[in-house]
Homo-oligomer: A and B are copies of this chain.
Amino acid sequence: MLIEVQKDVLMRSLQHVIKAVALNGPAPILQGIHIQAASDRVIFTASNTSMTIQSEIQQSSATLNIKRKGTIVIPSRYFFEVIRKLRDGVIVLELETEEKLMLTIRSGHSNIRLCGMAPTEFPYIKREEEERYSNRLQLNHTLFKATIKQVAVMAATSENRPVLTGVSFECNDNHINIMATDGVRLASRTLHIASSSHTNFKVIVPAKNLLELAKLLGDEYKAIEMAICNNRVKFIANGLKVESALIEGTFPSINNVVPRSYLCEILVDRECFLAAVDCVTVLAGDYIIRLAAESAQLKLLSRTREIGDVEHAVPLLEMRGEQFSISVNGKFLSDMLRNRECTSIRIRYAGQTSPIVILPNDSLKSTFFLLTPVRTQYEYNKSK
């Protein structure tokens, strides 16, 4: 291997793949980055048991010049830190012989030699296996990234029910529904599929891998491709490939969870409501806040014994139905209101034991959130 590459381009690929390095894993080979210089591109790959990230740089006169092909696995931490410390400009990576497993890095007045590992055992995404990915579909990149950020945070973080640590992807004809729940809250969004060659499918993808993917995705791509084989899913966008294991099991059905009729529906300004929730949650013991919808306003209340209490009023833009008051987790509610593009939020109340339904007002059909109320012994209204 002998390549010349611009530092900023190399760093960007390394920043992508390093997220999948199994830094504390038992296998030294998985603490490395697999570098493959092919004839027309250099491919960097890192993998832990659950996720594999691959980033490639195309041969080009401005950024990458491949003079000799070759493959090696290099300890990620040292490689990343060394490259990061080098000054901007051309960096030369040279592997004299495949047997010697010693990578030489040259830049300006620096000369670094790093001991590598044999690439044969590395579980990288094999190019020749791509045809096994039979289900392929393309999604709008911006919408996909926003959806993952909204939905995947609602997944469970405890491993008590492994399927709940994942995000459900259910594909029906030209739509895909993306959903996550931890049993208390639920987020669901349906996206249109641009172009595809697939059959209908249902898979569960680990939420933490999706959140890493969302962080990696820049703003410059137009579309992201999703491809599924038996037990893995692959996301492909502009030189970046992220492969994840799937979670086995059946995702719970929401047919019996979503309330079918409502006692009250209110509309509030999103930013105004979010600011109120955040303010009131500061003083809320166990994050429990009280929502009380009255004639023209939504009152938010919380108190912590011996510390104090807070009351915040948000004007109602609309109200249809009877007055209600209900206690919910303010932190969970705040998560649902954040990162939304809409200006107002519709809240539907279906009784003290039903989850409240939260709908961004400008995309009624495609997105909704459910939040199960908290039963509180303390009656806020009586204490005022």
Q: Which residues does A use to contact B, with CB under 8 Å? A: 75, 78, 81-82, 85-87, 102, 109-115, 275-276, 278-279, 282-283, 304, 306-314
Give A74's nearest chain B residue, CB to CB: B308
Copies of this chain in the oligomer: 2
A309 to B313, CA, bound (A): 64
Contact of A310 among B102, B111, B279, B304 (CB under 8 A): B111
- Cβ A306 vs Cβ B115 within 8 A: yes
Contact A113/B78 with A85-B278, A275-B87, A282-B85 known, Cβ cut-off 8 Å: no
- Cβ B81 vs Cβ A312 within 8 A: no
Residues of B within 8 A of A82 (CB): 279, 282-283, 310
Residues of B within 8 A of A283 (CB): 78, 82, 112, 114
Residues of B within 8 A of A314 (CB): 109
- Cβ A310 vs Cβ B109 within 8 A: no
Apart from A85-B278, A114-B283, what are 14 other A-B pairs with CB-CB below 8 Å? A78-B282, A78-B304, A82-B279, A82-B282, A85-B279, A109-B276, A110-B310, A112-B308, A112-B309, A112-B310, A112-B311, A113-B308, A113-B309, A114-B308
Give A308's nearest chain B residue, CB to CB: B114
What are 17 A-B contacts defined by CB distance under 8 Å?
A78-B283, A78-B304, A78-B308, A82-B282, A82-B310, A85-B275, A102-B308, A109-B276, A109-B312, A109-B314, A110-B310, A111-B310, A111-B312, A112-B308, A112-B309, A114-B308, A115-B306
- Cβ B86 vs Cβ A279 within 8 A: yes
Chain B CB within 10 A, most for which of A81, A110, A279, A309: A279
A85 to B300, CA, bound (A): 14
A126 to B312, CA, bound (A): 37
